[in-house]
């Protein structure tokens, strides 16, 4: 038997369906973060941010905030055997 801590539900498990941020939104987020970048660096950020954003949006969102990925699925029999060894 395995136990999973992923909360089942019909809601979306990722944010990959959202539209990518526009350059104006990226500039606004950088300003709100307190970044004062030269124009060339800001342009580079605007070009590279969509790839970073897409990667982050593919991460599953259905776990509790402090769940550890290593404990997503644990075989109960294996845990029982390890507890008996102690």
pLDDT in tens, 37-77: 999 999 999 999 999 999 988 887 776 666 666 555 656 67
pLDDT-wise least confident of 25-29, 70-74, 77-81: 70-74
**Euclidean distance between CA atoms 84 and 86, whole angstroms:** 6
**Euclidean distance between CA atoms 64 and 59, whole angstroms:** 13
For the entire predicted model, the pTM comes to 0.58
Whether the predicted pLDDT of 1 surpasses 50: no
Q: Which residue has the higher pLDDT, 27 or 6?
A: 27
Radius of gyration of the chain (CA): 20
């Amino acid at each position: 038997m395995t136990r999973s801590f992923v909360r089942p539900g019909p809601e979306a498990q990722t944010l990959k369906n959202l539209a990518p941020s526009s350059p104006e939104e990226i500039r606004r987020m950088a300003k709100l973060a307190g970044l004062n970048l030269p124009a060339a660096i800001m342009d580079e950020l605007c070009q590279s941010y969509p790839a970073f954003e897409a990667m982050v949006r593919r991460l599953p969102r259905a776990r509790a905030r402090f769940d550890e990925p290593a404990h997503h699925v644990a075989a109960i029999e294996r845990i029982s055997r390890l507890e008996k060894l102690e």
